[in-house]
């Protein structure tokens, strides 16, 4: 009589089947950047997970198969996995559309394919993943601006509200000053795009307010993009932010901080009260609006009350980042959400708490944002 498989083996097999289904759906969706004649030349491949050592993925023209590293896929965030998938799709494009038979695997035609598919040409082989590159950038420890911001945010932990507010304000002023200088000097910069939060079929109202907060005050651009929801086996959406590594680190930390702050304040607020999840959204939206209002009041304060370098800042405009966004997302559309009934009293209570919130103590996070890790201080070396 055949022995039944152990439960953990069955669970992994189910998980891997779901992941392979997700890769198939992501492959379909990633073709949208191509013109119809090109899409028709891309033959739907087989997908597999294999033990590859340090290699992250491969494309086989003989098998018409894209294989990804099992260890990588099971242990990394989905945006890492999708980056590798699109890299292998670029190999497929070079093979099936450009007929790159007589050049090296990463030759000119492959680089052309990466440009067409918005793929990272160095995303496979013996290369660090997207989040590894963000977390271990050696420049961080020699970046005096980043270290000064980290120190100011540490000071923002002060129990004295006035001192904490002053430290956070100085950190924001330093971010503004640095980014304005870089933009004015037309320095060439490298941009990256990462998920914040988890892909989901539906996002609560506060997620959109936090997205606007990041875009308006933390020097990144955000877009809600399609992404596979592993738990549901369907394509959903997730917020993807784009910017320099420095600004991405700060923005993802702020995202995690605000969400954890909402959770802690809501737990205290609703104690001994019966309130549903929609009331939490009222509270959270109010909190984010209160914090945003505080930042806006500072930005719009009389000129004599603002540092000279921030007086010209009306709306964050970065031409290079704009070009990057236009290339990465050539086809975008707007959407609106139905206005939901809300409790004005809870919204106002959240607003008052948000006005007192101070972003403090960190720059980077350990793991992907959206609950997979906890905020971590940038250490000195």
Q: Which domains does the chain have, with CATH numbers?
A: 7-127 (3.30.2010.10), 141-376 (no CATH)
Count of beta carbons in the 10 Å neighbourhood of residue 26: 20
pLDDT of residue 375: 39
Question: Is the separation of the CB atoms in 265 and 287 below 8 Å?
Answer: yes
The pLDDT of residue 116: 95
Residue/partner pairs of 321-324 with CB below 8 Å, 24 or more apart: 321/191, 321/221, 321/242, 321/243, 322/221, 324/191, 324/242
Structure tokens at 340: 């939901």
Residue 106 confidence (pLDDT): 85
Res 372: pLDDT: 36
Q: How many CB atoms lie within 10 A of CB 8?
A: 8
CA–CA gap between residue 145 and residue 178 (Å, rounded) = 8
Bridge partner list, 67: 48, 58
Reference 93, options 117, 126, 118, 58; nearest CA is 117
- In angstroms, the CA 352 to CA 342 distance is 17
Range 226-245 burial, b when 16+ CB lie within 10 A, else e = ebbbbeeeebbbbbbbbbbb
Asked if residue 78 lies in contact with residue 227, where contact means CB atoms within 8 angstroms, the answer is: yes
Q: Are 56 and 2 in contact (CB under 8 A)?
A: no
Per-residue pLDDT of the chain (381 residues; tens, 9 = 90+): 455 667 777 888 999 999 999 999 999 999 999 999 999 999 999 999 999 988 899 999 999 999 999 999 999 999 999 999 999 999 999 999 999 888 887 899 999 999 999 998 875 555 677 777 777 655 554 467 777 887 888 877 877 888 888 888 888 888 888 888 888 888 888 899 999 999 999 999 999 999 999 999 999 999 999 999 999 999 999 999 999 988 998 999 999 999 999 999 999 999 988 899 999 999 999 999 999 999 888 655 544 444 433 333 335 678 999 999 999 998 887 766 666 788 999 999 999 999 999 988 754 444 444 443 333 433 322
pLDDT at res. 334? 72
Going by C-beta distance under 8 Å and a sequence separation of 6 or more, which residues neighbour residue 5? 13
């Amino acid at each position: 009589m055949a022995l039944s498989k152990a439960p953990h083996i069955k669970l992994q097999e189910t998980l891997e089947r779901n992941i392979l289904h997700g890769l198939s759906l992501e492959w379909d969706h990633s073709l949208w950047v191509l013109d119809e004649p090109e899409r028709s030349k891309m033959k739907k491949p087989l997908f597999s997970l294999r033990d590859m050592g340090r290699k992250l993925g491969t494309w086989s023209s003989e098998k018409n198969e894209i294989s990804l590293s099992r260890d990588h896929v099971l242990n990394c965030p989905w945006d890492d996995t999708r980056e590798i998938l699109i890299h292998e799709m670029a190999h497929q494009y070079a093979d099936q559309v450009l007929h790159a038979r007589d050049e090296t695997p990463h030759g000119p035609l492959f680089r052309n394919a990466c440009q067409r598919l918005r793929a990272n040409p160095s995303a496979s082989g013996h290369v660090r993943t997207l989040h590894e590159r963000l977390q271990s950038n050696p420049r961080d420890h020699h970046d005096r601006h980043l270290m000064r911001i980290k120190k100011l945010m540490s000071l923002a932990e002060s129990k004295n509200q006035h001192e904490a507010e002053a430290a956070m304000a100085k950190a924001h002023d330093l971010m503004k000053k640095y980014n304005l200088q870089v933009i004015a000097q037309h320095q060439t910069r490298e941009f990256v795009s990462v998920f914040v939060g988890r892909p989901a079929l539906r996002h609560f109202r506060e997620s959109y307010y936090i997205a606007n907060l990041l875009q308006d005050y933390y020097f990144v651009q955000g877009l809600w993009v399609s992404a596979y929801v592993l738990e549901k086996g369907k394509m959903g959406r997730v917020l993807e932010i784009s910017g320099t590594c420095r600004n991405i680190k700060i923005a993802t930390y702020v995202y995690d901080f605000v969400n954890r702050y909402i959770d802690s304040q809501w737990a205290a607020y609703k104690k001994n009260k019966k309130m549903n999840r929609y009331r939490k959204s009222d509270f959270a939206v109010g909190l984010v609006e209160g914090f945003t209002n505080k930042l806006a009041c500072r930005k719009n304060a009389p000129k004599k009350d603002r540092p000279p370098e921030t007086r010209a800042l009306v709306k964050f405009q970065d031409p290079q980042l704009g070009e990057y966004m236009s290339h990465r997302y050539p086809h975008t559309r707007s959407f609106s959400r139905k206005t939901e009934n809300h409790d004005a009293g809870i919204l106002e209570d959240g607003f008052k708490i948000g006005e007192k919130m101070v972003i403090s103590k960190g720059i980077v996070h350990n793991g992907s944002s959206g609950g997979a890790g906890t905020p971590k201080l940038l250490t000195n070396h």
